[in-house]
Amino acid sequence: MRTHKIAAIPGDGIGQEVIPAGLAVLRALTERAGDFRLDVTEFPWGSDYYRANGRMMPEDGLDQLKRFDAIYFGAVGDPHLPDDLTLWGLRLAICQGFDQFANIRPTRVLPGLESPLRGLAPGAIDWVIVRENSEGEYAGHGGRAHRGHAIEVATETSIFTRAGVERIMRAAFAIAASRPRKLLTVVTKSNAQRHGMVFWDEVAAKVAEDFPEVRWEKELVDAMAARMVRKPAGIDTVVATNLHADILSDLAGALAGSLGVAPTANLDPTRQYPSMFEPIHGSAFDIMGQGVANPIATFWTACMMLEHLGEGAGARRLMRAIEAATAQGVLTADLGGTARMDDVTEAVIAAIRGDN
C-alpha cells in the first residue's frame, strides 16, 4: 500500500480545531479508498509552545519536518503575542526554510454557496492565483534606526531576483497551460514601481516564449482588484508578487463566499523539501474555541495535498464530498448557515462513505 508521511501542525486558535477535523476527514477518505495510507505525526508547535519554550518551534524543527512528504498546517497568531513574532517564528520559517516559493490559491464558488457579487453566473469565478512566496515585499529586508527619536526611520525593501521571478513565472505559466482556458494575467504595479515591477514584466515576456500555448496579459494590481469584482468571468490564472497576491487572494476568498473556504498550497515545485498545505485564514481570535470555525478551507487544502502526493483519485473523491456537503446546505455561520464545525465534518465524512 502507498504510504505518505504527513506532519500535522495545528498551531494556534482555530487551527487547533480545523486540523483535527481535516485529519478525521482524511482518515475516512483513506479507509474508503483502501489503496493508500497517511502516516500522520502531530507537532504541538505555536504560541503555547512559545510560552513554554521561548520559541515557536524547536531549534531543529526544520530538520524534524524534512523527512515528511507534506506538512498540513492550521494557523498561527495569538492575541497576547506580536503577530510578526508568531508568523516569522513558525509559518514563514517553514515557507522560507523549505524554499516553498510558489503559493497556489484556487478560488471557486462551491455548490450551495453564494458569492457577495450580485447576479454572478455559475462558474464565473474559477481562478488560480499564483503568489510569489519567497521574496518581493516579504523578503524581510530592511531595518529601523533612531528608535523613539523624531528622526526615526524604517525601511522595508522589496527584493526581486531574476532567479526568483523566473521560477514563479515558470510555475504560473505551467499552471495556466494545464487549465482549459490557457490564460495568464501577470499582475504588477509597473507604472509606479518602476524597477522591480518593470523587471517582473520583462521576465514574464521572456518566460512566455517557452509557453506559446498560453495567452497572457498584463494588469496593474489596482485595476485587477476592480476587475475581480466587475468582470470576474474573464480571469483564469493570475500571477502576482508576495504582497499583491496576498491581498488579491483574500479578496478572491471573500468573493467565493468566505475566507473560511479558501485553501492554499506553499509548494517547493522542485520537491527538494516538503510542501505545506493550509487554509488561507488565520487563527481567528474572535471565534476560537467555539466550535463554529468553517473547516472547508482545511478540507480543500487536503485535496491539494493529495494531488501533490500523486493521489489524484483521492483528491477528486474528497472534493466531491466537500461539494456534496455544501450543496446540501450544511454551512457554518460565516456562510450564513447555522451548522457547527462538527456538522460540516460529519456531512463530508458521510459523503465520502457514500461515494462510489
What residues make contact with ligand NAI under the rule CB under 6 A? 14, 75-77, 83, 87, 91, 259-260, 278, 281-287, 293-294, 297, 332, 334
Shortest distance, position 246 Cβ to ligand NAI, whole Å: 9
Query: Taking CB within 5 to 8 Å according to partner kind, which of Mg ion, ligand NAI, none is near residue 75?
Result: ligand NAI
Look up residue 49 and give its amino acid. Y
For 131, residues 6+ apart whose C-beta sits below 8 A from its C-beta are 102, 103, 104, 105, 239, 240, 241, 242, 245, 246, 249
Query: Taking CB within 5 to 8 Å according to partner kind, which of ligand NAI, Mg ion, none is near residue 253?
Result: none
The answer to whether residues 87 and 121 touch, using CB atoms and an 8 Å cutoff, is: no
Residue 247 to residue 163: CA distance in whole angstroms: 24
The answer to whether residues 30 and 317 touch, using CB atoms and an 8 Å cutoff, is: no
Shortest distance, position 240 Cβ to ligand NAI, whole Å: 17
From the candidates 63, 206, 222, 231, give the one annotated as an active-site residue.
222
Residue 10 to residue 75: CA distance in whole angstroms: 7
From the candidates 49, 50, 72, 138, give the one annotated as an active-site residue.
138
**Known catalytic membership, residue 250:** yes
> Looking at residue 285, what DSSP letter applies?
G
Shortest distance, position 241 Cβ to Mg ion, whole Å: 13
Nearer to ligand NAI, 128 or 341 (CB): 341
Q: Is 246 in the site for Mg ion (CB under 5 A)?
A: yes
**Known catalytic membership, residue 231:** no
Nearer to ligand NAI, 13 or 196 (CB): 13
Nearer to ligand NAI, 190 or 283 (CB): 283
The answer to whether residues 10 and 290 touch, using CB atoms and an 8 Å cutoff, is: no
Residue 176 to residue 211: CA distance in whole angstroms: 9
**Known catalytic membership, residue 189:** yes
Write out the three cell numbers for 241. 508578487
Query: Strands 237-240 and 126-132: what pairing?
Result: parallel
* Catalytic (active-site) positions: 138, 189, 222, 246, 250
Q: Which residues bind Mg ion (CB under 5 A)?
A: 246
